[in-house]
């Protein structure tokens, strides 16, 4: 039996599963709390893989229930690791092909970032401007479109557009059909800066492009062989 005056800790996996466990314990228990217990928000000082819940408000059956869940999860993780260990190793040529391909990607990315900074742009600002110019639809992209295209959160895309607009490189356009919808377009100054950047990227690809293609071809040959 658990001492009701003692603080026990129950380890739960972070995320939706933890919500489910806590909610299920709350629904199946007999207590007077008006709301299910909440777990603390993750922060840099907390192990993001697990959370700790004080169980002084949990009954003995709830405490055991959580421990069993944690133990079962550990057994499953061990089983998964054992299955992974049984996978056959890859030939050294595959590792080398993958390593070379990743190296060539990093090399081109390093060049691209340096070229953007030479134009007094952050790499993400350059990518934003390129996404605007390369947009395939008739209408200019919305901030939501750009966020999805660049794999950014909406507020991050808003911040990028704000900084580019402050420098006169992009402008916001209100849609005629819906004034609430805002689209983003390059200004003449922004387009001129992007032209210079795109030109130097094309020149770099004359040299690095064939090497990158060769690395990718070698990697694909290993996948199909």
Give start and end residues of each alpha helix (H) in the chain. Answer: 16-28, 60-85, 92-118, 123-133, 143-149, 154-166, 188-224
pLDDT value of residue 90: 86
Distance, in Å, from the CA atom of 172 to the CA atom of 168, rounded to the nearest integer, reads 11
**Between 63 and 114, residue with greater pLDDT:** 114
Tell me how far apart the alpha carbons of residues 59 and 52 are, in angstroms, rounded to a whole number: 16
* Angular region, 168: left φ>0, alpha ψ -120 to 50, beta rest: left
Place of tokens 């129950």: 10
Q: Is 111 exposed, middle or buried (0-12, 13-18, 19+ CB in 10 A)?
A: middle
Residue 154: what pLDDT? 96
pLDDT at 197: 98
Distances (CA, A) of 186 to 44, 88, 115, 131, 149: 38, 51, 19, 10, 17
More confident residue, 183 or 176: 183
Does the pTM surpass 0.95? The reply is: no
User: How far apart (Å, rounded) are the C-alpha atoms in residues 162 and 57?
Assistant: 48
pLDDT of residue 222: 80
Which tokens go with 147?
């966020």
Tally of CB atoms within 10 A around 121: 23
- 53 compared with 190, residue with greater pLDDT: 190
Q: Which of 18-22, 43-47, 195-199 is the most confident on average?
A: 195-199
Domains defined along the chain, listed by start: 9-85 (no CATH), 92-224 (1.10.10.10)
pLDDT of 87-135, one tens digit each? 888 889 899 999 999 999 999 999 999 999 999 999 999 999 999 999 9
Provide the mean pLDDT of the chain. 76
Over residues 157-182, the pLDDT tens digits come to 999 999 999 999 999 998 777 767 89
217 vs 65: CA distance, rounded Å: 53
pLDDT value for 16? 46
Q: Using an 8 Å Cβ cutoff, are 1 and 28 in contact?
A: no
Q: How confident is the model at residue 10 (pLDDT cuts 50, 70, 90)?
A: very low
Angle between helix axes 154-166 and 123-133 (nearest 10 degrees) is 90
Half-sphere exposure of 59 (CA within 13 A, CB side): 11
| pLDDT tens-place string over residues 184-220 | 999 999 999 999 999 999 999 999 999 999 999 999 9
pLDDT of residue 76: 61
Instruction: Report how far residue 113's alpha carbon sits from residue 122's, in angstroms, rounded to the nearest whole number.
Output: 7
């Amino acid at each position: 039996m658990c001492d009701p005056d003692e603080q026990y800790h129950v380890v739960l996996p972070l995320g939706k599963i933890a919500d489910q466990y806590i909610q299920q314990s709350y629904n199946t228990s007999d207590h007077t709390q008006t709301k299910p217990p909440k777990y603390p928000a993750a922060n840099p000082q907390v192990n993001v893989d697990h959370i700790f819940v004080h169980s002084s408000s949990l009954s003995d059956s709830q405490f055991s229930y959580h421990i069993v869940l944690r133990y079962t999860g550990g057994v499953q993780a061990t089983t998964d690791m054992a299955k992974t260990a049984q996978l056959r190793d890859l030939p050294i040529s595959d590792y080398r092909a993958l390593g070379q391909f990743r190296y060539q990607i990093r090399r081109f990315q390093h060049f691209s970032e340096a070229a953007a900074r030479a134009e007094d742009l952050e790499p993400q600002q350059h990518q934003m401007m390129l996404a605007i110019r390369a947009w395939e639809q008739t209408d200019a992209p919305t901030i939501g479109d750009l966020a999805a295209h660049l794999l950014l959160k909406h507020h991050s895309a808003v911040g990028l557009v704000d900084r580019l607009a402050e420098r006169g490189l992009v402008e916001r356009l209100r849609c005629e059909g819906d004034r609430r919808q805002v689209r983003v377009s390059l200004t003449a100054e922004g387009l001129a800066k992007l032209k210079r950047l795109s030109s130097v990227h094309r020149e770099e690809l004359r040299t690095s492009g064939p090497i990158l293609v060769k690395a990718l071809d070698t990697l694909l040959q290993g996948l199909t062989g």
